[in-house]
Amino acid sequence: MKLPNLANSFRFTRDMWSSPWVTAIGRFAALVAVFLFFAVLVEGGKFYTPRNLENILRQSAVYATAALGMTMIIIAGGIDLSVGSMIALSVVTVAWILDYHYAVPGSQGQVETVYLIHRWPVLLPWIALVAGVLVSVLAGFINGITVVGLRLVPFIVTLGTMGIFRGLAKGLAQEKDIYPREDTWLTRLMDPTLTSHDPHWRAWILPPGVWILIIAAIVAALVLRYTKLGRYIFAIGSNEETARLCGVPVGRVKIVTYTLGGLFTGLAGLMQFSFIGGIGQPTSAIAYELFVIAAVVIGGGSLMGGQGSILGSVIGALIITILYMGGQQMGWPKWVQETVIGMIIIAAVVIDRLRQQATT
């Protein structure tokens, strides 16, 4: 009797479990399981009310948008611990510009304050938007140029810039919250009532900020899958030395990757500004780097580099948000929530290591 070929059977099983479809289904199943867990345990059906689901979607949009850039950085073998501080700097920049004023000579020699928003009510929000994103892009570029130019470990560099960017945010805000004097559409990017009460936005169905996430995620996925830059990012993360020998401009690609990370983080900053009510809080987004990195790792990104997906990171952001908000509704202390998320990160890294060992 002919014995089965165990080597072929093992290879088939290994290939099946490493299939992108199987991996995607597994992540989606984890998302459903976490949601059902809290849907059952939270009393009174409060967890799956339309309002709570909307809040989950809005909060996860902030994490997921920042996770788009973090996905690229982690695939390339790097990491960025300054994400939360970059979001705070972007938030404060937007609020500062919306609140910006200058003095001109008034009648009878007095000085009266003239607010820029009164002169350019249409243009000012766009100036604030561009500035909020650009300051984050610049921060990402600084991270990249420092890592590449000084040949330092990304963990150390971004740990340092985490403090620098947070300090700049506090300095710009003079260590207090900034309350823009007039409301603009920027403060309502994540407002759920914008879609239900404003006829102009009613056709959007979702808050505009969520549509920004969807468009940004599609663009990021296309870049990683179909462009030379995307192939270079995966090549560097898989084996940097081999990529360099093959002619990949490793340094330039890393700088571009960190800069793109800043771009997506800047978009997340705009959403955060709206999510917290249009206030420039320099202490905003503390520990967001933990949630963003967790989203990427849970979504299949490897901290060793060379692996990750945009869809997986978005699902990971949803899982993190459900865990956080579900824990709040169940009355978990904050330290319990952070402990659970930390344990999940470790578990995801262990699973990734076991998966890598199984495929070698």
Can you give the residue ranges of every domain in the chain?
27-359
Give the model confidence (pLDDT) of 144-155 as tens digits: 999 999 999 999
Q: What amino acid occupies position 268?
A: A
Q: What amino acid occupies position 274?
A: S
> Given the structure tokens 């559409």, which residue do they identify?
185
Beta bridge partners of 329: none
In eight-state DSSP terms, residue 196 is H
Name all contacts of 31-34 with Cβ < 8 Å and 24+ positions apart. Answer: 31/315, 31/318, 31/319, 31/322, 34/319, 34/322, 34/323, 34/326
User: Does domain 27-359 sit in CATH 1.20.950?
Assistant: no
At 108, the pLDDT band (50, 70, 90 cuts) reads: very low
Give the model confidence (pLDDT) of 36-95 as tens digits: 999 998 888 888 888 888 889 999 999 999 999 999 999 999 999 999 999 999 999 999
Structure tokens at 310: 């945009």
Task: Round to whole Å and give the CA distance between 245 and 47.
Answer: 53
Phi, psi of 101, deg, nearest 5: -145, 165
Q: 15 or 264, which is more confident?
A: 264
pTM, rounded to two decimals = 0.87
